[in-house]
Chain A
Amino acid sequence: MTCGINTYQSLKKWKDEQILNFRSDAYALNEFHDRVMKTVFEIALDRMNNEKLPSWKLAWFATGSGGRKEQGFLSDQDHGLVYEAEDPEAATYFLKLGEEIAEGLETVGYPYCEGKVMSSNPIWCRPLVEWKEQISDWMDEESWQTMRNLHIFYDSRALAGEKEYIGELKSLIHNRINNNPNLLSRLMETSMHMKNAVGPLGQLLPEEKGTHQGELDLKYTAFIPYVNAIRLLAIKEGIIETSTIARLEKLQDMKDYGEEMNRYKNNFATLLKWRLLTYKQTDTYDDTHFLHLKSLTKRERNELKSILRDGKKLHQFVIRTVEKGVV
């Protein structure tokens, strides 16, 4: 546990004091988030143990930006639980633990996930056997919602417990895709929407209305398109790394990918850097996705444009690659 911290409140205090030290280093910031989240988990376990100490095996995983190690200063919580035991008593216990964790994360400064991707939700808190069934069902159903669930799950990374559970579950997806490339197509169809940010005259298209007037919505014009595109390639190639940068590094070494991946990697690193640099302490979670265009130099604006244009190229590349693989 982090130097004597044993309540959510004291953890929050420590986190708030430390976090701005990571303004220039996205990697270190995410290591820091990991440390905070793991501490939340330990405090939660501790509080549960007042009732009963289970010896059940489990994996607690983060997903979303936490799973990808791409959190900014503020981000909401996305996580789930996989456990071994299959009896009803275990189910009750782990759901309760899930609620405890979610509440703890909330107290420490990670708002609840609006989409309910949290260990307190039975869909994201199951025994390993049921998880396997659920993922199979998701792949069979191929609906918009179940494809979304697969995307979310694919960014999972174990923060505590049995790491291999997550790997085992992801390999179900790889196996299915090897036998049925159409699934990859379905995954693509449900994740390739892109908010356009460069106009036909080559101008940047900031928000027209609202409190973010004149700012660019980085989350939907840049982050999500890059993340989604690279995740698809990762699924296709069986890459189990979760961070977009790490996925790109793996892709770089593969034939058929090559040089461009390096450029995309640099682009994405720049995006992460900008998000940290523009953060103000008064920002809410929504605010952190918007880039003040006025604060950019001419060179930075051009760089941004080329990153956004590259995003489009990357999308085209992914579409071609996936379609090639489908018989």
Chain B
Amino acid sequence: MDATFLMNSLWVMLGAILVIFMLGGFIMLEAGSTRMKNAGHIAGKTIFTFGLASLVFWAVGFGFIFGDNANFLVGLSNFFYSGAELEGLSLSSPVFFVFQLAFAGIAITIALGGFAERAKLSVYLIFTILFSAIVYPVVAHWIWGGGWLAEHGKQDFAGSTVVHLTGAMAALAATILLKPRIGKFNKDGSANNIYGHNQVYTALGVLILWVGWFGFNAGSTLSVEDGFFGFVALNTNLAAGAGAVAALIISWMVMGKSDVPTMLNGALAGLVAITASCAFVDTWASVVIGLVAGILVFYSVRFFEKRKIDDPIYALSVHGAAGIWGTLSTGFFATPELATVGKPGLFYGGGFEQLGVQFMGVAVSGLYAFAVSFIILAVAKKLMGGLRVTEEEEIMGLDLSEHGSYGYPEVFMAEENKRLSS
């Protein structure tokens, strides 16, 4: 067995581990940005839904994305993947599978962010199965599995569209159908701040995601050839830094305050945006892409709030708005040397061709993800008697209503139990 094959396999396995560890980042980000009474639920459901999504991905997801005998929507082989080596890969196929599974896990986790603090546990379960079976695999097939967008030369190196936008559009469908949390908006239409319970968790979550992103982006090289993963990692880090800086500055300029959650969103937006373009653009362009993402995320959060869409952990802005921008960005900045897929961008003499492809890819993928997610949830709403816990349950918190226990028992439990458990 040749050394390159082994090294590729090792590198991508490391990437898979980093991407799966991003779930730790999401747990902290999401729990920190929400209230104590839901913390245990949020942490627990993230692990549970990843487990469930893994099974679905093994059964059908992987086959739909990469299988042979493909129709317009999906491929149709390799269901219940056996671990057998597949043709045409220069790394271990099970490693490739685990790496792809990790991405599917991130996509559903992003989507479920839009459900935070009010959806029933059973809705998480149903939606995880259906999203992982028929939403994510279709978009992934179109762009990465040799589908029609791949044939157009759509550039999405590590998934600004496939993972982030798809997840965010599902989150959008969910926030619209679930409606805002109790107390988010006042009668006169003004919004309240529902503060997250631990900003340190949120920041640590962002750092874990940032580190995990090296697996996400640099791991997507799928090989160690020429050490190109280093360049991808460099671009990734620059965009994250630029996003954090731009977001802090814009929040200070507009609100007169250097807002920490905005800055954290800026770092994530930079990462989401560079995900599509990290292998196709020069370093200076990465900085520009990150800066724009940091500013965009600030205005996007305000945009959704004005429209009375309650997005507790900013999934729509961080993954959606920045995902769109990141995908379009290669249409401007892709260089002739680096555009191994598709064409160079507008600023490199490529004209509007690649930008057009990117735009079409974003629009169709986004619409598909939104529409199918919306239908799934609307039907579920009908069949399950609503997507939301009762008002009483929402007030008492999902830790208690959905699980019968608490993430922070000493704070909430009855005196007797407090004494015993502290």
The chain A residues found within 8 Å of chain B, CB to CB, are 196-201, 203, 205, 208-214
Contacts and interface: CB of A to CB of B under 8 A. Distances in A.
Contacts of A201: 253-254
A197 B253 CA distance: 12
Nearest to B254: A199
A210 B192 contact: yes
B319 to A, nearest CB: 23
A214 B190 contact: yes
B385 interface: no
B251 to A, nearest CB: 10
Report whether over half of chain A's contact residues are helix, strand or loop; otherwise say mixed: loop
A213 B191 contact: yes
B253 A209 contact: no
Given A210-B186, A211-B186, A211-B188, A196 B193 contact: no
Nearest to B189: A213
13 contacts: A198-B256, A199-B253, A200-B252, A200-B256, A208-B255, A209-B190, A209-B191, A209-B193, A210-B190, A210-B191, A210-B192, A210-B193, A212-B190
A211 B256 contact: no
Contacts of B254: 199, 201, 203
B253 to A, nearest CB: 5
A160 B252 CA distance: 49
Contact of A196 (B192, B253, B256): B256
Given A209-B190, A213-B191, 10 more contacts: A197-B256, A200-B256, A205-B255, A209-B192, A209-B193, A210-B190, A210-B191, A210-B193, A211-B190, A213-B190
Contacts of B253: 199-201
Contacts of A210: 186, 190-193
Contacts of A200: 252-253, 256
A210 B191 CA distance: 5
A13 to B, nearest CB: 31
Nearest to B252: A200
Among B188, B255, B256, B257: residue with most chain A CB under 10 A: B256
Nearest to A212: B190
Interface in B243-260: 252-257
A262 B279 CA distance: 64
B256 A205 contact: yes
Contacts of A208: 193, 255
The 4 closest A-B pairs by CB, nearest first: A213-B190, A205-B256, A199-B256, A209-B193
A198 B257 CA distance: 11
A199 B256 CA distance: 5
Contacts of B190: 209-214
Nearest to A213: B190
Contacts of B252: 200
A208 B188 CA distance: 14
B185 to A, nearest CB: 10
A277 to B, nearest CB: 21
A214 B305 CA distance: 14
A198 B254 CA distance: 10
Interface in B188-207: 188, 190-193
Contacts of A203: 254
Nearest to A215: B190
Contact of A199 (B186, B191, B192, B255): B255
Contacts of B192: 209-210
Nearest to B249: A200
A211 B256 CA distance: 20
Interface in B220-274: 252-257
Contacts of A212: 190
Interface in B160-208: 186, 188, 190-193
B384 to A, nearest CB: 33
Among B188, B190, B192, B252: residue with most chain A CB under 10 A: B190
Contacts of B257: 196
B40 to A, nearest CB: 27
Nearest to B302: A208
A211 B193 CA distance: 11
A211 B192 CA distance: 8
A209 B191 CA distance: 5
A293 to B, nearest CB: 13
Contacts of B188: 211
Contacts of B256: 196-200, 205
A210 B187 CA distance: 11
B187 to A, nearest CB: 9
Contacts of A209: 190-193
A209 B188 CA distance: 12
B317 to A, nearest CB: 16
Contacts of B255: 199, 205, 208
A214 B252 CA distance: 17
A217 to B, nearest CB: 12
A211 B187 CA distance: 9
A266 B85 CA distance: 83
B148 to A, nearest CB: 44
B380 to A, nearest CB: 32
Nearest to A206: B255
Contacts of B191: 209-210, 213
Contacts of A198: 256
